[in-house]
């Protein structure tokens, strides 16, 4: 039989309106197990170490080198302050590289988006072998940059290139293409548009499949033509994908290097010298790592400003569906 004090305590707890004391949580619930913490850190540490070693350390080190005269060959690394940054203002090759980089970006980004949107619209339908066509469109992303450059060098070769052959059939004289300072940069634009079109197609195709069919049908019922429906209904709903592509492709365009290195190496007469290639030339050809680091941070500032402008302007024209 329970003691009177125990019965009284139970009766008070059972009375209506009387709050019950919260029971203390078990110790295992209040603090996570040490083994779980150890397992979590064990999984995170390798990735964090790699990011720190190959990401954060080079960023900090290049920032320090941009204020030094450093060739990485000797231990003599005198501090020169802002000399490397002032030198860029009077370097004519830097001015040319900036101009070529912006011209390339202005042609490459809209060109890739337009071609990708055209192909995505053409493939956004139910026809035979559509999976084969979509795979072929994305295959350009699977091909290595080296293979891409070799193919385009062969196509645009001044002596035996296929492009000059077709131009001769039209009565157009032979062109020098990659050997011509006025044409080489545009050949690289065509090369990279071909290489990045598959990525643009995949993004736009995914966005097109997310457009509600009921909106398209409603526009058709109201008498809108296919072009009007595409311009007034489909394009606004594709604006988030367009903003993503514009930002992503711009960042990649401002860092153009592989195609220039493999096809022209900045020539002829610096006609295809862009900022990243000039940075490479200063660092690994002239061993002027301090100046190259300053150019790298100058390029980072350009990317930061351009991306911020794109997001600010794109916010006005981007329509998100709930």
> Closest Cα partner for 150 from 259, 244, 292?
259
Mean pLDDT of the region 101-115? 97
Mean pLDDT of the region 239-265? 95
| % residues pLDDT > 90 (the chain) | 58
Assign 1 a pLDDT band (cuts: 50, 70, 90): very low
pLDDT for res 25: 52
Assign 10 a pLDDT band (cuts: 50, 70, 90): low
125 vs 307, residue with greater confidence: 307
Residue 258 has pLDDT above 90, yes or no: yes
Mean pLDDT of the region 200-219? 90
For residue 268, whether the previous peptide bond is cis, meaning omega lies within 30 degrees of 0, is yes
Lowest mean pLDDT among 25-34, 42-51, 153-162: 25-34
Cβ-count burial 97-135 (b if 16+ within 10 Å, e if not) = bbebbbebbebbbebbbebbbebbbebbeeeeeeeeebe
What DSSP state is assigned to residue 23?
Answer: P
For residue 189, what are its two tokens?
């634009």
Assign 86 a pLDDT band (cuts: 50, 70, 90): very high
**227 vs 121: CA distance, rounded Å:** 12
pLDDT for res 52: 86
**27 vs 135: CA distance, rounded Å:** 56
* 120 in Cβ contact with 204 (< 8 Å): yes
Give the relative orientation of helices 239-254 and 184-208 as an angle to the nearest 10 degrees. Answer: 150
> Closest Cα partner for 108 from 244, 271, 256, 237?
256
pLDDT for res 38: 83
């Amino acid at each position: 039989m329970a003691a009177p004090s125990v019965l009284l305590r139970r009766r008070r707890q059972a009375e209506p309106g009387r709050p019950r004391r919260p029971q203390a949580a078990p110790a295992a619930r209040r603090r996570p197990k040490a083994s779980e913490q150890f397992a979590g850190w064990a999984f995170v540490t390798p990735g964090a170490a790699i990011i720190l070693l190959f990401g954060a350390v080079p960023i900090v080190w290049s920032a320090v080198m941009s204020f030094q005269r450093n060739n990485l060959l000797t231990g003599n690394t005198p501090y020169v302050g802002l000399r490397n940054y002032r030198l860029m203002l009077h370097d004519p090759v830097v001015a040319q590289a900036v101009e070529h980089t912006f011209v390339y970006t202005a042609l490459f980004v809209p060109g890739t988006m337009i071609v990708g949107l055209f192909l995505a619209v053409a493939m956004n339908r139910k026809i035979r072998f559509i999976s084969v066509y979509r795979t072929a469109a994305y295959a350009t992303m699977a091909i290595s940059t080296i293979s891409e450059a070799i193919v385009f060098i062969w196509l645009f070769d001044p002596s035996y290139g296929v492009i000059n052959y077709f131009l001769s059939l039209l009565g157009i004289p032979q062109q020098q293409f990659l050997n011509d300072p006025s044409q080489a940069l545009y050949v690289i634009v065509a090369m990279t548009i071909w290489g990045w079109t598959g990525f643009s197609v995949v993004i736009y195709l995914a966005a097109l499949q997310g457009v509600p069919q009921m909106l398209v049908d409603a526009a058709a019922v109201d008498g809108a033509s296919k072009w009007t429906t595409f311009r007034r209904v489909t394009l606004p709903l594709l604006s988030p994908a367009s903003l993503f592509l514009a930002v992503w492709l711009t960042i990649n365009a401002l860092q153009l290097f592989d195609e220039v290195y493999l096809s022209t190496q900045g020539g002829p007469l610096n006609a295809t010298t862009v900022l990243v290639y000039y940075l490479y030339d200063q660092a690994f050809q002239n061993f002027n790592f301090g100046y190259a680091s300053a150019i790298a941070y100058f390029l980072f500032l350009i990317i930061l400003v351009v991306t911020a402008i794109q997001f600010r302007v794109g916010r006005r024209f981007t329509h998100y569906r709930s």
